[in-house]
A and B are shown apart, each in its own frame.
Chain A
Amino acid sequence: MNAAAVELRAAAKTYASGTQALLPVDLCVAPGEFLTLLGPSGCGKSTLLKMMAGLLAPSSGEVRVWGEAPALGPTSGGRTGSPGGAARRPLGFVFQEATLMPWASVCTNVRLPLDLAGVPHAEATPRVRAALQLVGLDAFEDSLPRELSGGMRMRASIARCLVTQPRLLLMDEPFGALDEITRYRLDSDLLALWQQQGLTVIFVTHSIHEAVFLSQRVLVMAARPGRVVDEIAIDEPYPRSADFRVSTAFARHAARLQDSLLSASAEQSRA
């Protein structure tokens, strides 16, 4: 597989009202990369992510995921061979909210994408178990979402994504609503999953610290109009432990990201 996981060529989004949500972006994400889109609200980071997921069409330019235009649904491209949905999905999307069905158990929620794709129960059940194990929820498969904490709900949501065995994980501020301590744990667990499963992750956040801790590369974005203003590599080895969060290297990277964000907004207020 030598195709890029995601490739954008001058992809831009202008709404019918004339609002420029996103100026043209060129981007190439390598398979196995962990990329973060960092910026204030209104900078078009979610728009960018949704274009990659095929939830939004670019108004100009091109979006390629695994060499193909992203399309919705289980019948979309990237599904090679074997019937019954055993093949890996091209991409999975994790929302800001856990978006679980409140009436269904964790197990049923995680099985949902397989059910929608018509995967028989006998085949789906072990995959659901495995996905729940990956996120550490195997003891809670019969619980209802309301019985879980916010962090556990997010884990269930991630499990629902992993059960389709996506090669590319698109995450839209997934831990934004969680408390800081829970967020730290989920960050660490996500990194472990990423390495273990050989995923490509594109992660949206407005937290500088989360961006530094997780990513290999950070795209800094600015608002009005939404655009990419900087690209910063976080050249630190994995696995990254809690110690990394209090290291001088971490602080240096955080300072660079902060400078970049601040100068972008200063430029804008002068203009």
Chain B
Amino acid sequence: MNERWQKVFWPAAVAVLLLALWQGLVVAFEVPVFLVPSPLRVWQALVEDGGLLFAALLNTLKITLLAFALAVVLGTAIAFAFVQSRVIETALFPYAVLLQVTPVVAIAPLIVIWVKDPTASLVVCAALVALFPVIANTTLGLRSVDPGLLAYFRLQGATRWQTLRRLRIPSALPYFFGGLRISSGLALIGAVVAEFVAGTGGTGTGLAYQILFAGYQLNIPRMFAALALIALAGVALFAVMAGLSRWALAGWHDSETAHE
């Protein structure tokens, strides 16, 4: 319990310290608000523009979650296809890498042209960013089966399906959740970047649009406020994924058991 409390306390102490330092420096050197606003000004902007920013946050989160879900479903399906045969994996893996290394910024305009619906096009862009870790980790996990257990299943005459369901999938879970953690963050990044590039096409605007628009207006405190919301959303996503992983792996996997 004490340890848990410390895990919250120390990062929070660092945050307070940094914010105080920031506030102190801005006040002491009379930094103009259009260069660096003080934390209090950012907080003020967050409260004043709360409705606007919160709606934008919801939009960005919607894109993020849809893209994340798409990436997980698609990535897992591809990983399952990969482990069915080495030929499939060898043939297709380079293209998964290709997808990963091509910057979403570069493909976004194309996707906007191809996918008519603006929300869908943003989701596709963000999903492309988030896809690869799910594929790579799940494939690795499905292959990382204890060879002894695999031999045992073979000895028992287990069918392919039984081996998949009772052995490969549980063995893959730690890797899968590792992939989810990375991928959830990437989905958020993808959603923001895609909105920067593609715009919102008239539908509800996200946080990226708020940042751009506040920039045009030199409304720097609002920019910071939007930025803070994105960062907080990322942290929250990470925390949810970590919690999910802890819940699923509790007790049996070394990564989630207490280190005495």
Evaluate whether A55 and B155 lie within 8 angstroms (CB atoms) in the complex, with A99-B146, A99-B149 already known. yes
User: In the complex, which residues of chain B have a beta carbon less than 8 angstroms from the beta carbon of A97?
Assistant: 148
| A55 to B167 Cα, complex, angstroms | 19
User: Residue B158 at the A interface, CB < 8 A?
Assistant: yes
- Residue among B151, B156, B167, B170 making CB contact with A73, cutoff 8 Å: B156
Evaluate whether A95 and B151 lie within 8 angstroms (CB atoms) in the complex, with A103-B253, A144-B252, A146-B257 already known. yes
Q: Which residue of B lies closest to A98 (CB)?
A: B148
User: Residue A115 at the B interface, CB < 8 A?
Assistant: yes
Evaluate whether A53 and B252 lie within 8 angstroms (CB atoms) in the complex, with A97-B148, A101-B167, A116-B162 already known. no
User: Residue B243 at the A interface, CB < 8 A?
Assistant: no
Contact B257 A76 (CB under 8 A): no
Contact A99 B155 (CB under 8 A): no
Contact B151 A55 (CB under 8 A): yes
User: In the complex, which residues of chain B have a beta carbon less than 8 angstroms from the beta carbon of A93?
Assistant: 152, 155
User: Residue A63 at the B interface, CB < 8 A?
Assistant: no
User: Residue B251 at the A interface, CB < 8 A?
Assistant: yes
Produce 1/0 per residue, A181-195, CB < 8 A to B: 000000000000000
- Residue among B154, B170, B257 making CB contact with A101, cutoff 8 Å: B170
User: Residue B93 at the A interface, CB < 8 A?
Assistant: no
Contact A72 B157 (CB under 8 A): yes
Contact B148 A146 (CB under 8 A): no
Give, as a whole number of angstroms, the nearest-CB distance from A170 to chain B. Answer: 10
- Residue among A74, A99, A103, A104 making CB contact with B157, cutoff 8 Å: A74
Produce 1/0 per residue, B106-134, CB < 8 A to A: 00000000000000000000000000000
| A74 to B167 Cα, complex, angstroms | 17
Contact A95 B252 (CB under 8 A): no
Give, as a whole number of angstroms, the nearest-CB distance from A195 to chain B. Answer: 25
User: In the complex, which residues of chain A have a beta carbon less than 8 angstroms from the beta carbon of B43?
Assistant: none
Q: Which residue of B lies closest to A55 (CB)?
A: B155
- Residue among A95, A116, A146 making CB contact with B156, cutoff 8 Å: A116
| A23 to B148 Cα, complex, angstroms | 26
| A103 to B167 Cα, complex, angstroms | 10
| A245 to B22 Cα, complex, angstroms | 76
Contact A115 B148 (CB under 8 A): no
Q: Which residue of B lies closest to A115 (CB)?
A: B166
| A104 to B153 Cα, complex, angstroms | 15
Evaluate whether A101 and B149 lie within 8 angstroms (CB atoms) in the complex, with A116-B162, A146-B257 already known. yes
- Residue among A72, A74, A103, A112 making CB contact with B154, cutoff 8 Å: A72
User: In the complex, which residues of chain B have a beta carbon less than 8 angstroms from the beta carbon of A113?
Assistant: 156
Give, as a whole number of angstroms, the nearest-CB distance from A176 to chain B. Answer: 13
Contact B252 A103 (CB under 8 A): yes
| A73 to B151 Cα, complex, angstroms | 12
Q: Which residue of A lies closest to B158 (CB)?
A: A116
User: In the complex, which residues of chain A have a beta carbon less than 8 angstroms from the beta carbon of B154?
Assistant: 55, 72
Give, as a whole number of angstroms, the nearest-CB distance from B149 to chain A. Answer: 5
Residue of B148, B157, B170, B173 ringed by the most chain A CB atoms within 10 A: B157
Q: Which residue of A lies closest to B153 (CB)?
A: A116
Q: Which residue of A lies closest to B167 (CB)?
A: A101
Contact B156 A74 (CB under 8 A): yes
Contact B166 A75 (CB under 8 A): no
User: In the complex, which residues of chain B have a beta carbon less than 8 angstroms from the beta carbon of A53?
Assistant: 155
Contact B166 A103 (CB under 8 A): no
Q: Which residue of A lies closest to B249 (CB)?
A: A103
Contact A99 B252 (CB under 8 A): no
User: In the complex, which residues of chain B have a beta carbon less than 8 angstroms from the beta carbon of A76?
Assistant: 157
CB neighbors of A among B183-197 (8 A): none
User: Residue A136 at the B interface, CB < 8 A?
Assistant: no
| A74 to B249 Cα, complex, angstroms | 31
| A101 to B166 Cα, complex, angstroms | 9
User: Residue A102 at the B interface, CB < 8 A?
Assistant: yes
| A58 to B251 Cα, complex, angstroms | 42
Residue of B158, B162, B167 ringed by the most chain A CB atoms within 10 A: B158
- Which positions in A face B, CB cutoff 8 Å? 53-55, 72-76, 93, 95-97, 99, 101-104, 112-113, 115-117, 144-146
- Which positions in B face A, CB cutoff 8 Å? 146, 148-149, 151-158, 162, 166-167, 170, 173, 249, 251-253, 257
Can you give 27 A-B contacts (C-beta < 8 A)? A55-B151, A55-B155, A73-B156, A73-B158, A74-B156, A74-B157, A93-B155, A95-B148, A95-B151, A95-B152, A97-B148, A99-B151, A99-B152, A101-B167, A102-B252, A103-B173, A103-B249, A103-B252, A112-B166, A113-B156, A116-B153, A116-B156, A116-B157, A116-B158, A144-B251, A144-B252, A146-B252
Given contacts A75-B157, A103-B170, A146-B251, 15 further A-B contacts (CB under 8 A): A55-B154, A72-B154, A73-B156, A96-B148, A97-B148, A99-B149, A99-B152, A101-B149, A101-B167, A102-B252, A103-B249, A116-B153, A144-B251, A145-B252, A146-B252
